[in-house]
Each structure stands twice: as structure tokens, then as C-alpha cells.
Amino acid sequence: MTLLRRWRLSHLSLYRRLMIWLFCPLAMLVAIMLLQAWFASREAADRAFDRLLDAASLSIAEQVRWQQSRLWMDLPPSALEMLATDAQERVFYALYDAQGHFVTGNRSLPSLPPAKAGQMSYGDVISRDMPLRLGVLRSRLEGWDRSDRFEVRVAQSREGRQALANQLFLASFVNIVIIAALAMVVVLLSARFALEPLTRLRRAIRQRDPRTLAPLELALPRELAELRQALNELLARMRRVRANQERFIGDASHQLRTPLAGLSAHAELAMRQSEPAAWREALVTMHGTATKTARLAGQLLSMTRLNNPEATPAKRSVDLAALAQRCVRESFARHHRHGIDLGVDVPDHAVMVSATDWQLEEALNNLIENAALYGARQITVQVTDAPTRLVVTDDGPGIPESQRLLVLRPFHRGQEAGDGTGLGLAIVDSIARAHDIRLLLQTANPDHPERPGLCVVLIFTAT
């Protein structure tokens, strides 16, 4: 198991991977070439030596004639000597008549099936435990009166062929080995050269200052240039994220500082008075400011929580209708006190979506709160099925179309008037993004120029 894991390809270095993928086919190729060379040299040796069988049997066949009422042959010694090369092969010959009867010879030799072309057929036979190359020549007498068929069979042992085949094979072997060695050197070198830019890239990344997010400037081959581009894009995103964070932190501290300064000023003013009534008035004001600041702090906290990419809370199946009813029920009393008409319109059955329930609640509360803060008198929360939507409609001043993208950014208020923190819609937007929810800002009542109202639609994608 550990061995397997060690040899898993994904663990291997690029260099080794290249080596394996280059050397395995190379080794296979060399093996195939060697095998082919072996067969080719055997065949070449056989072809060369078969000429001898050919010549010898022709020379014997020439001497075959009809004499004394039978096939007759004056065996030329040179024909047999022809068959023995430097390897001093063993030599056998035999003459057979048309009926396959042995006429003369020094060993009975088997016949061979006729060859497709030519008179001569060759074959490897084992005769009395001796591997022999046999050649059979089919011929006929060329006399005036007789034209009997006959067969001259000659055979020789394989030493000469073997020696020649070995010699030929050795030559090919040396060639192939030299070529393979050269190929290996080339492969090694080219793999090193090909991987060299990778090493440069690694060095360049390693030598960077860890705090810098500047793009990588490095001449690289196309494949790695893509990687460099991807890296640079990532770096650019990181730069944007960092800039956003810095601005957010700056805005947040600015937002917190203003109410805190107000609190401090009110307290100071109140301390100069001696009237308890004035104190009370100051306290009421301070309480309002503190409440607002607390809400701001809470929203900052939830914004930070939402923007933390490390924490992606598990999604569960949530009943949207029940969730809307619960939120409205919880905040109904508070808004009723301020004379705001908060209503809810849900279907009878449950509308299930996959989401994180506290985030949806947060978004809904923010939307209701937002509408209330910007002077709506009537707020309706509506849940529809197919398509699954959560709609919050109010009759407030609305947001002009040019402002609609901007209001989604943190600390951007639609109107300078009002008690909003400037984070409400930004939080909703973050939650919508995390849930793949389409967020639409529409005008609720376009016919009413003074109070066109705002309709925020959250469209849940089908899960």
C-alpha cells in the first residue's frame, strides 16, 4: 500500500514523469527493433544460404537421367562440397522418384509442400534429432523418350546460418544500442532544458517579498506564461480584496468615530447643565446614538463574518414561508409602535430552499429595517413559489436607477438623510452572492413620483 502510494504518478516529480513517459516507449521501441532485427537477420541468413541449397540441388538435378530402366544419377562431389561453407555443415542429399521412392542418397529426407513460386521449396526439419534446413527441388527428366518427375532433396545443418545470423544481428544490435544511447542522452538533456523555465519560475516566486502583491514579470514559454498569467490574476484579485478591506476598515472606523464623537459631545454638553430635564434629554439622545452605534457594530460584525471566505456555513433545507412569518412576527411590534404597517404574504404550504437560515433571517431583517429607516410606512414581505422568490416591497422614497449598483457597496447611503448605517443592502448583497441568489432592485410603484417605493426581489435558483 505504501509502495503503491509512493509510486502513484501524482507524487512523482515532473522530471521523473517525463523520464518514465519517454523511456518506457523508448525501451519498448528498442525491444521491438531488436526483435525485428533478430528475425530479419535470421531471414537474411536463411536467404543467403538457401541459394546454396538451390545451386547444389540444381547441380545434382542436372546429373539425373534415365539409365538401365531406372532413375540414375552421377552425383557430382562439387555439389555436396558447395553446401559445406566455412562452418563445415553436415550435408545430406537424396533422390526420390515420382512415386516418392528413395533412389539414392545418404539419408532419407522428408518432402515439403510445393512452393508457390519457383521449383524449390525450403523448410526447417528435424531429422534424427538434428535440426536441418531442407531444400526440395521438383524437376523432371528432359530426355527424348522419358519425362519422369523426380525430387532432389538436399539438407544442411544450421551452423553456418546461425553464425551469419548472429553476425548480422550483432551488427544491428550495436547500431540499435548506439542509437538508443544517443536517444537517451537527448531525452535527458531535452527534459532538463524543457523543465528549466519551471525552475526559473519557482526561484522567482521564492525570492519575492512575502508582502508584495505586484505581478510577476518573467519571460516564460507559452504553457508557463499561462500559469504566470493565472498567478498574476490571482495576485490582482488579492490586491483588490486588500484594497476593499482597507477601505472597509477605514470607513468602519470613520462610521464608528462619528457617533462616538457625538456621544462624547452630548455628554459634555449635558454635564455643563444642572437641569435634570436637560440631562434626561441628553440621555435620551445619547441612548439613541448608542443604539444606532450598537446596530452599526453588529452589522460590521456580520459583514465581516459574511465576507470571511474560510467560514462557509453548512446549508440546510429551510422553509422560506415559515422564516418570513417568524421575522415579521418578531419585528412587528417594534415597527407597529412607529406606525409602520408591516405585512406578510406567504403561500399555505412550505417553500423549501437550501440555505443557511440565520443568514436568510439576517438579510430579511436588514431589508425590513432598511425600509423602515428610510421612511416607509407600509412594508410587505411576500414569498412566492415557482419561481421561488422573497420580495420585500415598501412605499418609501425608493432608489433612483443610477444609484442602485452603488447602494450595494458598504457605507454608501442612498440618501444622506435617515438613520441607516449604509451596510444593510451590502449585507443582503453578500448573503445573496453566498447563496447564488439573484438580487433585483425595482421601483415598487412607478406611478407615484414622490414615493415610488422600493421592491427588493431575491430570486432563488432552482436547486
Q: Which residues bind another protein (CB under 8 A)?
A: 68, 72-81, 83-84, 88, 90-94, 102-108, 128-130
Q: Which is nearer to another protein, 101 or 206 (CB)?
A: 101
Nearest to 204 by CA among 227, 236, 237: 227
Count of CA atoms in the C-beta half-sphere (13 A) of 8: 6
Q: Which is nearer to another protein, 80 or 381 (CB)?
A: 80
Q: Which is nearer to another protein, 131 or 298 (CB)?
A: 131
Q: Which is nearer to another protein, 109 or 252 (CB)?
A: 109
The rounded distance, in Å, linking the Cα atoms of 152 and 64 is 9
Per-residue burial over 121-150, b = 16 or more CB atoms within 10 Å of its CB, e = otherwise: bbeeeeeeeeebbbbbbbbebeeeeeeeeb
Q: Are 371 and 377 in contact (CB under 8 A)?
A: no
Work out how close the CB of 47 gets to another protein at its nearest, in angstroms, rounded to a whole number.
22
Q: Which is nearer to another protein, 107 or 409 (CB)?
A: 107
Q: Which is nearer to another protein, 141 or 428 (CB)?
A: 141
| Distance of alpha carbon 310 from the chain centroid | 25
Work out how close the CB of 150 gets to another protein at its nearest, in angstroms, rounded to a whole number.
13
- Segment (H or E) for 352: strand 352-355
The rounded distance, in Å, linking the Cα atoms of 430 and 306 is 7
The rounded distance, in Å, linking the Cα atoms of 57 and 459 is 98
Please state the length of the chain.
463
Q: Are 423 and 410 in contact (CB under 8 A)?
A: yes
Look up residue 33 and give its three cell numbers. Answer: 527493433
Work out how close the CB of 51 gets to another protein at its nearest, in angstroms, rounded to a whole number.
17
Work out how close the CB of 133 gets to another protein at its nearest, in angstroms, rounded to a whole number.
15
Q: Are 296 and 259 in contact (CB under 8 A)?
A: yes
Work out how close the CB of 41 gets to another protein at its nearest, in angstroms, rounded to a whole number.
23
Work out how close the CB of 148 gets to another protein at its nearest, in angstroms, rounded to a whole number.
15
Work out how close the CB of 68 gets to another protein at its nearest, in angstroms, rounded to a whole number.
4
Q: Are 445 and 426 in contact (CB under 8 A)?
A: no
Look up residue 319 and give its three cell numbers. Answer: 422553509
Q: Which is nearer to another protein, 79 or 355 (CB)?
A: 79
What does DSSP say about strands 437-443 and 454-460: parallel, antiparallel, or unpaired?
antiparallel
The rounded distance, in Å, linking the Cα atoms of 183 and 236 is 44
Helical H segments across 356-423, by residue range: 357-373
Q: Which is nearer to another protein, 71 or 342 (CB)?
A: 71
Work out how close the CB of 9 gets to another protein at its nearest, in angstroms, rounded to a whole number.
53
Work out how close the CB of 132 gets to another protein at its nearest, in angstroms, rounded to a whole number.
11
Q: Which is nearer to another protein, 107 or 239 (CB)?
A: 107
